[in-house]
Structure 1
């Protein structure tokens, strides 16, 4: 998170507050939510569990 904050020109705490305000969730939980969302979409399209796991990590 520190490198993302630095990229945005902010320290970690202000970055986390801004990210949470914009994304609706903290920056450390967002990647998990995103992977689950992508995985759910793949599984709905009948992609195998193994292929889904390989794609989303």
Structure 2
């Protein structure tokens, strides 16, 4: 028997690690994203072209 991980196990582990890092970054940035969306909606969003050229 070979010792170590197979290629599929290594790929799965890397995908899980990358997914957890992406999820942590998203959760960390979520308050700022919500704040930016709120400001965007207050300024009129897509309908504000005539107000802000």
TM range (shorter): 0.3 to 0.5
Structure showing greater radius of gyration is 2
